[in-house]
Amino acid sequence: MAANTLNGHKDNKTPVLEPELVTDSETAEAPVVTPETEKEVPPKRKKPIGLILAGLGVGAIARQQLDTAKAAYDVAVAQKNAAVQGVEQAEARLASAKVGVAKAQSQLSQAQENVVSAQAKLAASKGGLQQATAGGQDTTVKRSQYEAAKAAIAQSEASLRDAQLQLSYVNITAPSTGRIGRKNVEVGNRVAAGTQLMAIVDNQNWVVANFKETQLENMRPGEPVEIKLDAFPHHSFVGRVDSISPASGAQFALLPPDNATGNFTKIVQRIPVKIVFDQKSIQGYESRITPGMSAEVAVEVK
């Protein structure tokens, strides 16, 4: 392209021709040019439609606009993608919320069932309480009846014991097993309390030996004893020392001696010692040995 000159000077810049402005009406409806109209319109009245550009500057501007539009397009695409992701996340949250609502509704139904069950149990408990209250009143009445019956039973038991006691007076029981001696009562006699009826001789035989107090130094209970009765001079019995009296015979007398006057004569005291027979040694003599017989005893002391 040849360089244009302006005012006789060379200019390296490519002049840009200003486009002629075209109105909307002109661009919207362009006149149709026919051979007939072309003759009527003078050549100086014809206006070019479009834009006449010259040089490389216009191409650079279009490239910049294209990059800008592309960048704006990319931004729009990114915004669209972000919007799509937001919609997907919102849909996911909505689905989760629906699941939570369904679960909450299920829990609500279960809770309502539990409330109904609890109300039923409460009604049953109230019925049981009313029944227990009525039963408690009945129990109070029965308890009073029970106490009255218990008192009547105690009174009857006391009457029974008194009757048994009165009945026991009919039978007179001996204090020990033995033989009857000196009987003072006959069948049909009426007796009062404290009347001596008879004497009983115990089957358990023993000897009371009155040893001098000087003979008791080595004597101990359990030591063997040889017994001779005057009624059976040719037979010796065997026994053992059972016990020694806690006091002399004089101390158990009706009038025990009292030497406080100063007129005192020393006398050797006698101490009763109980000696029991060996049951084997008196076999055959049980009914022949009687209380009051005289006996001589010899204690083997250690």
Note the pLDDT of residue 38.
Answer: 46
**What is the pTM assigned to this prediction?**
0.43
Distance CA 27, CA 157 (A): 140
Are 245 and 276 spatial neighbours (Cβ–Cβ below 8 Å)? no
Collect all residues with Cβ–Cβ distance below 8 Å to 100 and sequence separation of at least 6.
none
Domains of the chain with CATH codes: 201-256+267-299 (2.40.30.170)
Are 238 and 278 spatial neighbours (Cβ–Cβ below 8 Å)? yes
pLDDT in tens, the chain (302 residues): 343 333 333 444 444 444 444 444 344 444 444 444 444 445 444 444 444 444 445 567 788 888 888 888 989 999 999 999 989 998 998 888 888 888 888 888 888 888 888 888 888 888 878 877 777 677 777 888 888 898 999 999 999 999 999 888 778 888 888 888 888 888 888 888 888 888 888 888 899 999 999 999 999 999 999 999 999 999 999 999 999 999 988 888 888 777 666 666 778 889 999 999 998 988 888 888 888 899 999 999 88
Note the pLDDT of residue 222.
Answer: 92
Interior CA angle at 27 toward 22 and 29, to 5°?
135
Q: What is the dihedral of CA 22, 25, 28, 34, to 10 degrees?
A: -90
Note the pLDDT of residue 183.
Answer: 86
Are 213 and 272 spatial neighbours (Cβ–Cβ below 8 Å)? no
Are 228 and 295 spatial neighbours (Cβ–Cβ below 8 Å)? yes
Note the pLDDT of residue 259.
Answer: 67
Distance CA 81, CA 68 (A): 20
Note the pLDDT of residue 7.
Answer: 39
